[in-house]
Amino acid sequence: MVKEKGEKEWLVPFIAATLYAVVSIFYIVFSDMLVHTLYSDPADITTAQTIKGWGFILVTSLLIFFIIYFWSKKTKESEEKFKTLAETSPFSIFVYREKFKYVNPASEKLTGYSSDELLEMDFWEVVHPDHRDMVKKRGKKRVKGEKIRPTYEFKIVRKSGEPRWILFTGGVIHFDGKSAGLGTALDITDRKKTLQELHEHKQRLEEMVEERTKELKFVNKELESFAYSISHDLKAPLRAMEGFSNILLEDYSDVLDEKGIEYAERIKNSSQKMDKLINDLLAYSRITREEIELQRIKIRSALDKAIKDLKTKIDQKDAEIEVDKDLGEVKAYEPILVQVISNILSNAIKFVEDGQKPKIRIWAEKLDGKVRVMIKDEGIGISPEYHDRIFEVFERLHGEETYPGTGIGLGIVKKGIEKMNGSVGVESESGEGSTFLIELDAA
């Protein structure tokens, strides 16, 4: 039972005693008056008063007997309840006032001392020397009624000398008429050890991840530089192949037969294709390696640059490009943004049915802190199952003969947009045209 501070423990016995006094006075006064009205003979009055006195003693004795009987029964029951609870509890429960006054069996198990030994000992003797001062200070504060956290952890020393960590909860109770400390304790040594191990494992894991990431970054950088220099080195023999096939076609066409000319043309085409592939790979690797700084960029100016780069293709296919007036400004790196738009536009021009005139519309909308640019074409479209795949390097949905390409263009788009903290996606159905959506932070 929790007792509130200032509860008046004397109030009930005081009321009972007052009631008893009032009832007794009334009884004595009125019974005397009754005796005097009933009897006039002094001998009869004395006898009646004696009987009345004995009766009063008998009734009060019976009352005292029942009160004490029921009171002690109730106290015993509640004591037994507490005792059973304490004796079977897996928690160590003990009462102390300097020395232990009560300990349950779990306390013996926790400390390694028998209950007889514990009852001869001071509570502080079990507390580990490192924590004795702290526990004493808290105990004093608790007795003074100061507000302190009732539950905390500290170390104890078992009889064998082995230190153990416990989770202790302290309170103050009345014991043998005086206030005493009531403590419960749970051995948390294993839990603490596991937590410590877990913490160490986590730390080791973090160190390992950090180390591996460093290694991986290094290897990646090496690989990128390797790919970059290889691509450069490949260009020289390629230029020789193209140059010599050109010489064959221009200066030796009269000595070559039809087959010879066809082969020379094939060599020229293949070397041109390989040149494009190397250029695309170089662009891709440049985007990965490049250290960039985002700046405020007008989308319209990046778009104009991309359109200028694609002028020949646009004129060849007589493409129609309709652009909304206001496209807004984004945080971007201009060379990459130009390349991204250029790659999407060049696909929009390329992937149309044979003989169809490419029609492209470009507009933008603002959505909380972002700008979304849409590039919509009326070309051959893309089935939804390929919407993710097309952004992977070398993923192409068509044969080289129908639509030539390297399969790197959208890979560059994705890498470039991600590098500028943006995202890219596509909405399309086969045969229904495509809309590429670029989202970047608004400037």
**C-alpha–C-alpha distance, residues 79 and 111, integer Å:** 25
Q: Binding segment for ligand ADP among 48-56, 248-256, 360-368, 401-409 (CB under 6 A)? A: 401-409
**Cβ-proximal residues to 173 (8 Å cutoff; 6+ apart), any chain:** 95, 179, 180, 181, 182
Stretch binding ligand ADP (CB under 6 A), from 84-92, 163-171, 320-328, 376-384: 376-384
Amino acid at 64: I
Name the DSSP letter for residue 343: H
- Which residue, 35 or 274, has its beta carbon nearer to ligand ADP? 274
**CB 432, min distance to ligand ADP, A:** 10
**Of 392, 425, 426, nearest in space to 409 by CA:** 392
| Residue 382 near ligand ADP by CB under 6 A | yes
Number of helical (H) and strand (E) elements in the chain, helices listed first? 12, 12
Restricted to residues 130-189, the positions that interact with ligand ADP (CB under 6 A) are none
Q: What is the CA radius of gyration of the chain?
A: 49
Spatial distance between the Cα atoms of 374 and 424, rounded to a whole number of angstroms? 10
From the list 138, 168, 163, 139, the residue with the least C-alpha distance to 153 is 168
DSSP state of 149: -
**Stretch near ligand ADP under the rule CB under 6 A, chosen from 131-139, 235-243, 363-371, 388-396:** 388-396
377 near ligand ADP, rule: CB under 6 A: yes
Binding piece for ligand ADP, criterion CB under 6 A, among 108-116, 220-228, 295-303, 379-387: 379-387
Q: N- to C-terminal Cα distance for the chain?
A: 66
Q: Is 351 in the site for ligand ADP (CB under 6 A)?
A: yes
Shortest CA distance to 327 belongs to which of 295, 294, 298, 368? 298
Please identify, using beta-carbon distances, which residue of 397 and 437 lies nearer to ligand ADP.
397
| Interface pattern 409-428 for ligand ADP (x via CB under 6 A) | xxx-----------------
* Contact with ligand ADP (CB under 6 A) among 310, 336, 340, 380: 380
Candidates 105, 328, 407, 425: give the one binding ligand ADP (CB under 6 A).
407
Determine if 342 is a binding residue for ligand ADP (CB under 6 A).
no
Residues 53-82 that bind ligand ADP (CB under 6 A): none
Q: Is 358 in the site for ligand ADP (CB under 6 A)?
A: no
For position 327 contacting ligand ADP by CB under 6 A, the verdict is: no
The dihedral formed by the CA atoms of 262, 266, 268 and 273, expressed in degrees to the nearest 10: 160
φ, ψ at 364 (rounded to 5°): -145, 155
Residue (45 or 393) nearer to ligand ADP, CB: 393
Q: What letter represents residue 436's amino acid?
A: F
Per the structure block, which two tokens stand in for 234?
């490949």
> Which residues here bind ligand ADP, judged by CB under 6 A?
343, 347-348, 351, 377, 379-382, 390, 395-398, 405-411, 434
